[in-house]
Amino acid sequence: MMASPDQVREYLTFSLGNEHYGVDILRVKEIRGWEPLRELHDVPDYVKGVLDFRGVIIPIIDLRIRFRTLNIEYLPTTVIIVLASEENQMMGIVVDAVSDVLSVKNSVMKPPPELGSRINTDYVLGMVSEEQGMVMLVDAEKLVDTDRLEVPEQ
């Protein structure tokens, strides 16, 4: 089904370093403060561990490491955003800070750039210009898809 250009969707915006991203607010289950996790062995460095989320053990991915953001620190603003897919597969993503809820009309969303992005464009729904600069809207379904966790070769 093709989305109408007048359709408005809401995105929870967050920052990774100086870059701004947004994820469909309907996929956000909870925003949690940073907390120690149960670490796992023999996993990629961006898999920070697992967390008990209401009785379900979910993987926690540090998007700052996954998207190769510089200067990664765990500060009071660092949070875990718990996301769920349509099939209720869940994952937590670590981000520097949550910013706002952004209402975006489909007609103002621009396609992602072909080059220059630090993120695999498979994850990108589109981009919008806002007061704080460009916001990259990412596909929560693809972020939560554990089959996509492998880091692409550079």
DSSP 103: E
Query: Each residue of 78-96: b (16+ CB within 10 Å) or e?
Result: bbbbbbbbeeeebbbbbbb
Tell me the DSSP string of 18-83: TEEEEEEGGGEEEEEE----B--SSS-TTEEEEEEETTEEEEEEEHHHHTT-SS----TT-EEEEE
Domain boundaries, given as residue ranges, for the chain: 8-148
- Give the containing element (helix H, strand E) for 91: strand 90-95
CATH (one of 3.30.230.10, 3.60.15.10, 2.40.50.180, 3.40.50.300) for 8-148: 2.40.50.180
Report the candidate in 8, 1, 41, 6 with the shortest Cα–Cα distance to residue 24: 8
Taking the model in full, what pTM does it have? 0.86
- Written as tens digits, the pLDDT of the chain (154 aa) is 456 778 899 999 999 988 899 999 999 999 999 988 999 988 888 899 999 999 999 999 999 888 888 778 888 999 999 999 888 889 999 999 999 999 998 888 898 766 554 555 677 889 998 877 889 999 988 877 766 555 444 3
Q: In angstroms, rounded to a whole number, what is the distance separating the alpha carbons of residues 140 and 131? A: 23
Q: Which two tokens stand for residue 16?
A: 């990774």
Q: Which residue has the tokens 């916001």?
A: 135
